């Protein structure tokens, strides 16, 4: 039985990955940041909360990292801990750099000192590319791969660029099995409300049920490569099963705009998009990325991984679940995510 340590286990990817690894007969531990209000609703909703070992700590605290590694003695570490909201990074650039950049170095230093044989997966991001797609190619159908220009357009992306290169440097300098998963946008019903896809599906479900009237959004003409998070965690695991550590782009290879997401979501719920959408300049970023679409040729060839869930189906999965949650809330039913006593978190 292998042992895995997941940092950021209470997030979307952490919860799905915990479930995936348990089904692979792993012993799973998770490092989580203690807060005044517990944030275990994702783990509870997937039925894995009582099957994993939770270790309180922080990725920016070396003592926490050392304690977690020595406590569970992992064969594999999946670093998913991050300040992952782009808009927040503009308001909190120092905090973002500490968590997404320096914290990763602390983790690798701990691995190097305690057990260099531990395999490390690091959650990188498509935000590394910024607007490089428009800068260096106008070719129709062009997509970003592992060799494309990296040109971050936010403090979040810049912090992730630092950790991306540090993962590579520790791999080459010290022989650590450390890899970057350059994941393009991946969504699910477990996505946080601060992300535009979940904000849309949650708000539209409430509008459909008469719980709110409108939804305020910023730039709805940005294009993204959206996949299903539940499928993407398999790619993380596959990267650590190979003999040679390498970095991989994980995406669908298709791009769709926020406007398209809205249109299909409104059609699915039979809502009039023009009546409920309000564009608010306050929700626009100081510097935005216009288009992101990934080329997963390498992942197809070396990992044997491909995305399965199509764009429209993903939108419907998220919408149907948010609608079900709010209907259940109205009916007074109790669900695991109500453990924090605040239905508005979802």
Q: Which residues are catalytic?
A: 125, 127, 156
CA 291 to chain centre: 18
Distance from C-alpha of 110 to C-alpha of 116, rounded to nearest angstrom:
9
Q: Give the other-Cβ count within 10 Å of 272's Cβ.
A: 8
For 223, the token pair is: 């294009």
Coil, strand, or helix at residue 258?
helix
From residue 345, how far is each of 60, 191, 192, 322 by CA, in Å? Answer: 25, 11, 8, 12
Q: Give the other-Cβ count within 10 Å of 175's Cβ.
A: 12
Q: Give the other-Cβ count within 10 Å of 91's Cβ.
A: 10
Distance from C-alpha of 267 to C-alpha of 245, rounded to nearest angstrom:
44
Distance from C-alpha of 193 to C-alpha of 344, rounded to nearest angstrom:
9
Q: What is the 3-state secondary structure (H, E, C) of 58-95?
A: CCCCHHHHHHHHHHHCCCEEEECCCCCCHHHHHHCHHH
């Amino acid at each position: 039985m292998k042992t895995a340590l997941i940092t950021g286990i209470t997030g979307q990817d952490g919860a799905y990955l915990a479930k995936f690894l348990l089904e692979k007969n792993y012993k799973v531990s998770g490092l989580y940041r203690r807060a005044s209000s517990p944030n275990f609703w994702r783990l509870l909703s997937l039925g894995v909360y009582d099957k994993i070992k939770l270790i309180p700590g922080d990725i920016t605290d070396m003592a926490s990292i050392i304690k977690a590694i020595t406590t569970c003695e992992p064969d594999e570490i999946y670093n998913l801990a991050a300040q992952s909201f782009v808009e927040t990074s503009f308001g909190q650039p120092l905090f973002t750099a500490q968590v997404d950049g320096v914290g990763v170095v602390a983790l690798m230093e701990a691995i190097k000192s305690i057990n260099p044989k531990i395999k490390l997966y690091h959650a990188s991001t498509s935000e590394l590319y910024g607007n490089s797609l428009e800068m260096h190619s106008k070719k129709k159908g062009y997509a970003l791969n592992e060799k494309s220009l990296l040109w971050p357009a936010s403090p979040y992306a810049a912090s992730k660029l630092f950790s991306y290169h540090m993962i590579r440097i520790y791999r080459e300098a010290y022989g650590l099995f450390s890899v970057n998963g350059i994941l393009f946008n991946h969504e699910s019903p477990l996505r946080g409300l601060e992300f535009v896809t979940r904000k849309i599906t949650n708000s539209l479900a409430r509008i459909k049920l008469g719980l709110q009237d409108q939804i305020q959004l910023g730039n709805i003409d940005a294009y993204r490569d959206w996949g299903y998070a539940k499928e993407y965690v398999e790619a993380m695991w596959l990267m650590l099963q190979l003999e040679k550590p390498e970095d991989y782009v994980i995406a669908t290879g298709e791009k769709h705009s926020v406007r398209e997401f809205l249109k299909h979501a409104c059609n699915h719920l039979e809502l009039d998009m023009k009546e409920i959408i309000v564009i608010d300049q306050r929700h626009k970023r100081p510097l935005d990325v216009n288009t992101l679409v990934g080329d997963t040729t390498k992942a197809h060839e070396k990992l044997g991984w491909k995305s399965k869930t199509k764009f429209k189906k993903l939108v419907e999965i998220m919408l149907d679940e948010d609608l079900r949650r709010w209907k259940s809330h109205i009916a007074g039913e109790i669900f695991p995510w109500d453990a924090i006593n605040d239905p508005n978190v979802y």
